[in-house]
Amino acid sequence: MQTINKSDVVAVIQNFTAQDVYIHSEATSFVFVRNFRAHLTDCRIAGEGPYRVGMRFDGHGWLRMEGLTHYEVDADGRLLLAGYDDEGRMHVALELGKEPFPE
Amino acid sequence: MKRRLLAVFAHPDDESFICGGTLAKYAQSGVEITLVSATRGEMGRRMGNPPYVNRETMPAVREKELRQACAALGIHRLIFLDIRDKTVEFIDPESLTERIAALIKEVDPDVVLTFHEQLGGHPDHCAIGKAATAAFHRTSQKGSLYFITFGDAMAYPEQFGYTQNDVVKIDIRHQLEAKLAAFRAHRCQTEIDAWVWEPDHQALAKFGRYEYFLVGSSAAPQLVCDDLFPSTGA
């Protein structure tokens, strides 16, 4: 994972919009959703760090997360976004894949 | 005759952080130890410090680190139940119990260790403990069942409604190096704890000298309070 570079993430996000995607989303310790499949209509990143991401899906849905600090496009082409604190603990994660994540 | 111990826990690191000294002690005395980890700890929030793990690499990283911890402790066999971290309590209890019962029959252990279903402290711990306890009774085998406990809590079992007769206290003073090596093997989980990475003599001084176990069920009367294998003798 590397510190979020906003313009890089914006470019990657484009590869996931206007299609069905699989989403892993979590607020660690409280909730996680894995392999939620949705048609991603639009996805934007905002803020100056930590960052916020908002997604519109299926023409009527929202997913919004904040506190994102790091990202990676992994070897499988998935976009992994996460928010770490300064001791390496993950607080939030938002991941997009074109195939289901391992269950 | 070869003595065998089966430990049924929830996450990579339960074996090291909670009872690593005892596992090392029995491994050193020739006990064959099988560890079952229900999950790969894939939903952990500690990612290393600085972070070197992400949500998707975590299962492989933690499996590798667990295997290193097993080597440090002398655990010879590791089995995963492939349940996702934080979902153990949502698995059908009957099928989970049956899977563990099959493992008990296969391993034929003298001692089974697991979590207490109420005192486990984490929903995954309580769920795997409940299933393992049910499996132990279902197989009605010869061995003894003990529940692992945290730190020195069971030095005073009365606060939990137990007596000293319900507790086995294992002296691990000669296994602290192995326990520390196991802590360090679980690198992504322990890097946040500065004391683990202090010079050995300082880190070792942070460990308690004993690990405590609650007696769950014993085929033979509990005659000694300092050994999990009372019926086979020291």
Taking phi over 0 as left and psi of -120 to 50 as alpha, with beta for the rest, B26 belongs to: alpha
Render B154-214 in DSSP notation, one character per residue.
Answer: GGSGGGGT--GGGEEEEE-GGGHHHHHHHHHHSHHHHTT-GGGGS-HHHHHTTS-SEEEEE
pLDDT at site A31: 95
Q: Among B184, B231, B230, B228, which Cα is nearest to B27's?
A: B228
Query: Does B45 contact A29 at a Cβ distance shorter than 8 Å?
Result: yes
What are B185-196's pLDDT values in tens digits?
Answer: 999 999 999 999
Which residues 144-203 of B have a C-beta within 8 angstroms of A? Answer: 191-192
Residue B45 is nearest to which of A24, A72, A90, comparing CB atoms? A90
User: Helix (H, G, I), strand (E, B), or coil: what is residue B97?
Assistant: helix
The pair of structure tokens assigned to B218 is 């014993």
Q: Is B45 near chain A, with CB under 8 Å?
A: yes
Sorting pLDDT into bands at 50, 70 and 90, what band is B217? confident
What is the C-alpha separation between B203 and B201, in angstroms, rounded? 6
Q: Is A27 near chain B, with CB under 8 Å?
A: no
What are B31-45's pLDDT values in tens digits?
Answer: 999 999 999 999 999
pTM for this one?
0.93
Give the count of alpha carbons within 13 A of B201, CB side only: 0
All residues of chain A having their beta carbon less than 8 Å from the beta carbon of residue B55 are: 24, 26, 80, 82, 90, 93, 95
